[in-house]
Homo-oligomer: A and B are copies of this chain.
Amino acid sequence: MTSIKEVAKAANVSVSVVSKALNDYPDIKPETKERILQIAEEMNYSPNLAGRNLSSKKQMNIGLISSAVFNSSEKDTNAYQVIKGIYRGVEDNNHELSVFLIDSKKQKQKSYAQFCRERNIGGAILQGLRMDDPYFKELVDTNIPCVYIDHITDEKSENIGSISIDNYAAGIEMTDHLLERGHREIVVIGGVEETFVNAKRLEGARESFRKHGIPLPEESIIHANFDEDQAYREATELLKKRQPTAFLCFSDLMAYGIMKAVKEAGLTIPEDVSVIGFDDLPFSAITNPPLTTINQNFFDIGNEAAQLLVKVMEKKQSSQHVMVNHELVERGSVRDIHKR
């Protein structure tokens, strides 16, 4: 437990000089700084973060507030990848990460603002929160810099940023992919309707249909809550009535449910029915057949979120929306109807 005091004693200087040496203050003789640094190194000294937190005005703590971890399917590993990216981004910028995982099944939750206050949090990354969450509103009102993942706000605040892929463009691409391969009987399997990403993807899909001069009837759009099982059930029902040539799914998880339903209906993919997904979960490469889907780089999303937040916290950058690249990866679940 070597403290700054002991280092000061060993170096024959006062604590404040040690502090300055450690924190790159300009008003210190290079030689003594060098010497102190060396002694600190030898003594295996590293500053206590609680002490530093308490005395410093600088905000070095970043909060990750996420409801995506406890409230999503075990198969849904997106949040995990995002968090890895956040962790790396925070670490690379020499900040600290405090994680707050929301579990909607738990009775009473601590307010997000309180969480931040207790931990001297200078900026927060928000993942999977509902916009009608009162705690969310409270947090925004505190004016703590925030970065939203997969959501854009209307508020024009200088300390609010956001990050996502270009869901609109991706929606167009995946729909184009189907349309250009001759599919006309397409059923769209949407996620949670009020969700930003879902809305954008749907807009994209609509635009693609419009562009191709093909109608997209409302009854061909089904919302399955980003849930595998619900998608499975919806598709099972639907297939009793009609047989589309393709399902366009706004998540891989839902695509898995669709594939199960299609197989159980005695149809084969992609010969009878095509399926396209969204996310590119690791397992989409080994489904049967492997799933054609939109790849999102979740690690990058998290990483960029952290970097953006740090910039906003340092006032080096005002609020903005950052787009991360996506990519359509073509595998074996979509048939080209033109070829036989």
Task: List which A46-87 residues lie within 8 A (CB) of chain B.
Answer: 46-51, 53-54, 69-70, 73-75, 77, 80-81, 84, 87
Q: How many residues of A contact B (CB 8 A)?
A: 38
**Which residues of B are found within 8 Å of A48, using beta-carbon distances?**
54, 117-118, 120
Given contacts A48-B117, A70-B84, A120-B48, contact A99 B97 (CB under 8 A): yes
Q: Is the C-beta of A95 less than 8 angstroms from some C-beta in chain B?
A: no
Structural contact, A51 and B49, CB atoms closer than 8 A: no
Q: In the complex, A97→B69 CA distance in Å?
A: 16
Interface string of A115-130 (1 = CB under 8 A from B): 0011110000000000
Residues of B within 8 A of A70 (CB): 84
- Identity of the chain B residue whose Cβ is nearest the Cβ of A298 in the assembled complex: B74
A99 to chain B: which residues have CB within 8 Å? 87, 97, 99
CB–CB A282/B120 < 8 A: no
Q: Told that A75-B282, A87-B101, A97-B99 touch, could you supply 5 new A-B pairs with CB distance under 8 A?
A: A46-B118, A48-B120, A54-B54, A74-B77, A256-B286
Closest partner residue, chain B, to A288 (CB atom): B288
**In the assembly, what is the distance between CA of A99 and CA of B47, in Å?**
18
A32 at the interface (CB under 8 A from B): no
Is A206 in contact with chain B by the CB < 8 A criterion?
no
Q: Is A143 an interface residue (CB 8 A)?
A: no
User: Do A283 and B46 have beta carbons less than 8 Å apart?
Assistant: no
